[in-house]
Chains A and B, each alone.
Chain A
Amino acid sequence: MADMKVAAYICQGCGLGERLDTAALASVAKKEGKAALIKEHEFLCNADGIKMIRDDIANEAVTHVMIGACSRRAKTEAFGFTDVCVSRANLREGVIWSQPETEEARETTQEMAEDYIRMGCAEVKKMTLPEGDPAAVTERTLLVVGGGVSGMTAALEASKAGYKVVLVEKSGALGGWAAKLHKRTPGKSPYKDPQNTPVAEMAAAIEADANIKVYLNASTSKTSGAPGRFEIEISTESGSTTIEKVGAIVQATGFELYDANKLPELGYGKSANVVDQAGLEALAKAANGSPIKRPSDGGEVKTVVFVQCAGQRDDSGKHLPYCSGSCCLTSVKQAMYFKEANPDIDTVVIYTDLRMPGNGEDFYRSGQEKGVIFTKGKVSGVEAAGNQCKVSFQDLILNDQVAIDNADLVVLATGQVPNSGVDIDTKLKAEIAAAAGDNSLMEAYTASQQEGAVQPISMLNLTYRQGPDVPQLKYGFTDSHFICFPYETRRTGIYSAGPVRRPMDMVQAMEDATGAAMKAIQAIENAGLGRAAHPRSGDLSFPKVRLEGCTQCKRCTVECPFGAIDEDEKRFPLFNQARCRRCGTCMGACPVRVISFENYSIDTVGSQLKAVDVPDEFSEKPRILILACENDAYPALDMAAMNRNVYSAFVRVIPVRCLGSVNTIWINDALSSGYDGVMMMGCKHGDDYQCHFVKGSELANIRMSKIGDTLKNMSLEEERVSTFEVAITDIERVPQLINDYAALIQKIGMSPMKGF
């Protein structure tokens, strides 16, 4: 690589020239930043400015560019030079837009700008250009696990996009849950009547598709590797095994109905005339269009009662706490089976809230038109009496305890339980519960570890250090964020689709599977180029580790939110870069600081914070370091500035990839350099987390809760290091947080660590 040559460019546009002494900034870049080439420009992002930089790269052998202009989030295309290292000093949003335009403020505003120039120069010098992964490979084949409607959709869509597919189905035929249905809820306009299921059609299309290879009666007995180079061992019931190489995986392992045997109070198991939704489908299938008979005696059915939310949305802790989002549609459809055969059959759906996703409202209306009676109520019990049942319930509209005492059939809508495989966090969750004083999970966990205990069956049998299946988000569903990152699991290159991801109906499952197939294709292509997947899409940097310094503490392997790091035979961390999302959590975790990225490292941040000019104790100018998450907090700061929401001139902001990447050494360095306070701004963590890297902000919070000792050793107040949850929308709140914190620092006084 050529010798480093740093060029600093200072923009005078957008009011920078008027508000700042850019000549003084240039002089800082020269004297302190040691830039070899310094240029001011009246409008740096215009064609002329960009050409100037381009020419310098071409003619002056510039290798490192420091741009003192707007935020790194602005003008990303104009300043997106890929052949040199680039740092940005945020003079616009970070300085002139966030500071008052007054004569009194001129001095502190200029000081801020000069510090950002120092920081930009310091940072860029520590950066090297990401080389990418010369060994990057990719296999343009998808593995789809599960041959239900979701899995079949994913396979067909991927094939249509030109990719090969290996489809593994545990049973002897494709179709999954849908194959058990008499009819499906409508997926097409006018959404009025039940339709035939797409199973036969899809299975035939798969059969005819040369891109799709199907394994029936089979399971994935071993999954190793990384995106682009997964190796799958497929075992069939007959005992044979095959190895398939794939680039990405779609897990569409579906659901089971919640076990109605757990609902004896609703009559299940006590009368043959009480069935779950699968039971009714079986009856309908058997009847095949002729009237459904009463199971107990084959008698005529005159009244059917559908009990919604049976064992669902339960707050007693005994049953499913959630809504399965599809059973209301199913009950309407099943009521129509009866109405179609004979409109005089009374069909009553007892619900607490009807939830009709998608175009389900039209279907609901159609049910009403066909004479299905909907009653808002809560069923308290179902008693069998001869060949009929008595359904007792509270009518929630009429506020009346009532009963339908001659139901010939009662259908319980019991909801979906995902086939997620092994919950790899069972032990962790048990430990957390035990720490909070609840030992029940730990007892259950211990029992499950006894010899002979029934073990959950793994869906993927991953050879990853962190466990054989993908982590579960909530209630056992395999997702990483229901809203922000659909299909993404916490295992790069593995996407979940359909009811295993969250409860859903067939329409949604087909959309889901299409989306997951597209994400899987992206992952395959990114892997081939050595690029990161969401959310740092396209990033070519990945962790580099100096193994000679590694103490094998395993914190990186344990804390990586994406299970990217295994261990080699010598128990050193083994980085699988294609699995890495480039959040830097490993870098933040490493106590000996041997992990870094080419363009983001202990040094790039450390040297920035050390480059800041810290005035002495008597200056009355404290310095506060802000480490701000680039996904939420940093844009919030930028947007606050766009709205001219002023904040303290004493802060210096460094964006970080994730709070999880913050290494405590930075905090130590800041405090010993005489900073008066450190604010860490990350995303919301906990159950409703908003962290783009799922666990990053939570880990940072845990690490920082342990920093109290360090502060004590330095005789510093605890408040000098504080963490804050900041959302991207906090554009009013974030300046307030800063100002409140600055006031607090003012109150506790200047750090005694200055000048050492």
Chain B
Amino acid sequence: MSENYRNNFLKEVEERVEEGHWVKMCMQCGVCAGSCPLGAHWAHPPQELFMMIRAGKREEVLTSDSMWMCTSCYNCVVRCPRKLPITHIMHGLANLAYRLGLSPKNQTTQKFASMFWNNLAQTGRVNELKLSLGMYFKDGFGQGIKNAMAMQSVGLGMVKAKRLNPMELFGGHGIKDKSGFHAMLKKAREIEDRRKNFA
């Protein structure tokens, strides 16, 4: 109990979460919750997450799947009377939870987000086919076939409309300077990990 309503977790958030220094500025009006397209699906809407941070509820916040509901529509950001960059704070909290291994198991958006990054980090550009297939097969091979079959007509339509290339599976688009690109990302991550105290 003694950590309740103390600044410890808030300080951690300020140090380790993107735009985390804004959390203390929330005035609990709830406009963000009311503006979120997926608002009904958040166990804790942003303003509540902010209060939980201020109340020191580290575990509850970081294990929550709420921030994974963010569609990055920025509606909360433009409406927040205190101009909090809520979308980024949600991304930042999600990132912290993920990095600490606390995010809920099998959180689909979290999986997709990692897949997306890994996909682009490989060649410098997104391979949409691999990304989609990866998403279908994230729950195993059998489920993947089912998912892919369900979306088959869409896929074929896309191929027909020349907006999906089956050959992408074997290579596809990419940048030329892959080594420079990889080195850059590695360095950026190194700096960030040092600053945010990630091992």
Q: Does B bind A?
A: yes
Write the residues of chain A forming the contact surface with B, with a CB cutoff of 8 angstroms.
303, 344, 346, 348, 354, 364-365, 368-369, 371, 373-376, 395, 397-398, 402-406
18 A-B pairs with CB atoms under 8 Å apart are A354-B27, A364-B27, A368-B24, A368-B25, A368-B27, A369-B24, A369-B25, A371-B24, A373-B54, A374-B28, A374-B54, A375-B51, A398-B52, A402-B5, A403-B1, A403-B4, A404-B5, A405-B2
CB-nearest residue of chain A relative to B47?
A397
- Tell me how many residues of B have a C-beta within 8 Å of chain A: 19
Residues of chain B within 8 A (CB-CB) of A403 are 1, 4
**Does any Cβ of A come within 8 Å of B102's Cβ?**
no
**Residues of chain A lying within 8 A (CB to CB) of residue B115:** none
Q: Which residues of B contact A404 (CB under 8 A)?
A: 4-5
By a CB distance below 8 angstroms, the chain B residues around A376 are 28, 51
Given the contacts A402-B4, A406-B2, A375 and B27 also touching, CB distance less than 8 Å: no
Which among B5, B28, B52, B54 has the greatest number of chain A C-beta atoms within 10 A? B5
- The 9 A-B residue pairs with the shortest CB-CB distance, nearest first, are A397-B51, A368-B25, A368-B24, A348-B5, A404-B5, A346-B6, A373-B54, A376-B28, A346-B7
Q: Which of A346, A371, A397, A405 contacts B28 (CB 8 A)?
A: A397
Q: Please determine whether A373 and B24 come into contact, CB atoms closer than 8 angstroms.
A: yes
Whether, in the assembled complex, B55 has its beta carbon less than 8 Å from a beta carbon of chain A, the answer is yes
Q: How far is the CB of A711 from chain B (nearest CB, A)?
A: 56
**Nearest CB in chain A to that of B50: its residue:** A397
Are A395 and B6 CB-contacts (below 8 A) given A369-B24, A373-B24, A405-B1?
Answer: no
Q: Which B residues are CB-close (under 8 A) to A354?
A: 27
Chain A residues, CB < 8 A from B5 = 346, 348, 373, 375, 402, 404
Expressed in whole angstroms, the minimum distance between the Cβ of A408 and any Cβ of chain B is 13
Cα A371 to Cα B6 with chains together (Å): 11
Contacts of A402 in B (CB 8 A): 4-5, 55
Interface residues of B in 43-85 (CB under 8 A from A): 47-48, 51-52, 54-55, 57, 82
Query: For chain A, what secondary structure do more than half of its interface residues adopt (helix, strand, loop), or is it mixed?
Result: strand
- B7→A371 contact, CB < 8 A: yes
CB interface residues, B 1-22, toward A, < 8 Å: 1-2, 4-7, 10
Residues from chain B with a CB closer than 8 A to the CB of A364 are 27
A490 → chain B closest CB, angstroms: 40
Q: Which residues of B contact A375 (CB under 8 A)?
A: 5, 51, 54-55
Residue in chain A with minimal CB distance to B25: A368
Please give, as numbers and ranges, the residues of chain A lying within 8 Å of B24 by CB-CB distance: 368-369, 371, 373
Task: Specify the chain A residue showing the minimal Cβ separation from B23.
Answer: A368
Q: Which B-chain residue is minimally distant from A365 (CB atoms)?
A: B25
Contacts of B48 in A (CB 8 A): 397-398
Q: Which chain B residues lie closer than 8 Å to A369 at the CB level?
A: 24-25
A344 closest partner in B (C-beta): B7
Other A-B pairs, 10, CB within 8 Å; known A395-B55, A398-B52, A404-B5: A354-B27, A365-B25, A368-B25, A368-B27, A371-B7, A375-B5, A375-B51, A375-B54, A397-B28, A397-B48
How far apart are the CA atoms of A403 and B6 in the complex, in Å? 12
A399 closest partner in B (C-beta): B48
Q: Which residues in A have their C-beta under 8 angstroms from that of B57?
A: 398
CB <8 Å contact, A303 and B6: yes
The CA of A354 and the CA of B26, in the complex, are separated in Å by 13
Which residues of B are found within 8 Å of A405, using beta-carbon distances?
1-2
By secondary structure, the B interface counts as: loop
Residues from chain A with Cβ under 8 Å of B55 in the complex: 375, 395, 398, 402
Smallest Cβ distance from B44 to chain A, in angstroms? Answer: 9
With A and B bound together, what is the CA distance between A741 and B47 in angstroms? 54
Q: Which single member of B2, B6, B27, B51 contacts A398 (CB below 8 Å)?
A: B51
Task: Say whether B7 contacts A373, CB under 8 Å.
Answer: yes
Complex: chain B residue closest to A364, CB-CB: B27
Rounded to whole Å, the gap between the CB of B192 and the closest CB of chain A is: 24
Q: What residues of A have a CB within 8 angstroms of the CB of B7 in the complex?
A: 344, 346, 371, 373
Q: How far is the CA of A31 from the CA of B181 in the complex (A)?
A: 106
Distance in Å: Cβ of A125 to nearest Cβ of chain B: 64
CA distance A312 to B48 in the complex (A): 27
Contacting residues, chain A, for B4 (C-beta < 8 A): 402-404
- CB closest chain-A residue, reference B11: A371
In the assembled complex, which residues on chain B have CB atoms less than 8 Å from the CB atom of A371? 7, 24
Alpha-carbon gap, A376 to B5, bound state (A): 12
Question: Which residues of chain A are within 8 angstroms of B25 by Cβ–Cβ distance?
Answer: 365, 368-369
A395 to B24, CA, bound (A): 17
A254, B152: Cα distance in complex, Å: 79
Beta-carbon nearest neighbor of A395 in chain B: B55
- Residues of chain B within 8 A (CB-CB) of A373 are 5, 7, 10, 24, 54
User: Distance (Å) between the CB of A211 and the closest chain B CB?
Assistant: 45
> Least Cβ distance of B1 to chain A in Å?
6
> How many Å lie between the Cα of A368 and that of B22 in the bound state?
9
Rounded to whole Å, the gap between the CB of A197 and the closest CB of chain B is: 28
Please indicate the chain B residues that have their CB under 8 angstroms from the CB of A365 in the complex: 25, 82
Residue of A344, A398, A406 with most partner-chain B CB within 10 A: A398
CA–CA, A374 to B23, complex, Å? 11
Q: Counting chain B CB atoms within 10 Å of each CB, which of A348, A365, A373 scores highest?
A: A373
- The residues of B that contact A398 with a CB separation of less than 8 Å are 48, 51-52, 55, 57
- Using Cβ atoms and an 8 Å threshold, which residues of chain B touch A348? 5
Distance of A397 Cα from B27 Cα, bound (Å): 11
Q: Which residues of A contact B1 (CB under 8 A)?
A: 403, 405
Residues of A within 8 A of B54 (CB): 373-375
CA distance A402 to B3 in the complex (A): 12
A28 to chain B, nearest CB (A): 64
Residue of A nearest to B24 (CB): A368
Tell me which residues across on chain A come within 8 A of B27, comparing CB atoms.
354, 364, 368, 374
Q: How far is the CA of A196 from the CA of B25 in the complex (A)?
A: 26
CA distance in complex: A406, B6 (Å) = 11
**Closest chain A CB from B87 CB (angstroms):** 20
B116, chain A: closest CB distance, angstroms: 33
Give chain B nearest CB distance to A380 CB in angstroms: 15
A575 to B24, CA, bound (A): 63
> Would you give the shortest CB distance from B19 to chain A, in whole angstroms?
14
Please give me the residue from chain A that is nearest to B81 by CB atom. Answer: A361
Bound together, the chains give a CA A500 to CA B41 distance in angstroms of 50
CA distance A406 to B2 in the complex (A): 7
- The CA of A371 and the CA of B24, in the complex, are separated in Å by 7
Name which residue of chain B comes closest to A393, CB basis: B5
* Chain B residue with the shortest CB-CB distance to A370: B24
Q: Which residues of A contact B51 (CB under 8 A)?
A: 375-376, 395, 397-398
Q: When chains A and B are docked, how far (Å) is the Cα of A138 from the Cα of B25? A: 56
A281 shortest CB reach to chain B, Å: 24
Q: Which residues of A contact B6 (CB under 8 A)?
A: 303, 346
Residue of B nearest to A391 (CB): B5
Q: Which residue of A lies closest to B8 (CB)?
A: A346
A455-B4 Cα distance, complex, nearest whole Å: 48
Nearest-CB distance from A155 to chain B (Å)? 39
Residues of B within 8 A of A406 (CB): 2
Question: In whole Å, how far is B61's beta carbon from the nearest beta carbon of chain A?
Answer: 11
Q: How far is the CB of B29 from chain A (nearest CB, A)?
A: 11
Residues of A within 8 A of B28 (CB): 374, 376, 397
Contacts of B10 in A (CB 8 A): 373
Considering the chains assembled together, what is the distance between the CA atoms of A369 and B51 in angstroms?
15
Q: How far is the CB of A345 from chain B (nearest CB, A)?
A: 9
A403 to B: closest C-beta gap in Å: 7
Residues of the A chain whose Cβ atoms lie less than 8 Å from the Cβ of B2: 405-406
Distance between Cα atoms of A709 and B141 in the complex (Å): 95
Q: How far is the CA of A371 from the CA of B23 in the complex (A)?
A: 10
Binary contact track B77-109/A, C-beta < 8 Å → 1, others 0:
000001000000000000000000000000000
A303 / chain B contacts, CB cutoff of 8 Å = 6
Least CB distance from A589 to B in Å reads: 52
Q: How many angstroms from the CA of A369 to the CA of B26 in the assembled complex?
A: 10
Within the complex, what minimum Cβ distance (angstroms) separates B9 from chain A? 11
Q: Map CB proximity to A onto B22-40 as digits: 1 under 8 Å, 0 otherwise.
A: 0011011000000000000
Closest beta carbon of chain A to B182's beta carbon, Å:
40
> Could you tell me the distance between the alpha carbons of A102 and B51 in the complex, rounded to whole angstroms?
67
* Listed residue (B2, B54, B55) with the most chain A CB atoms within 10 angstroms of its CB: B55
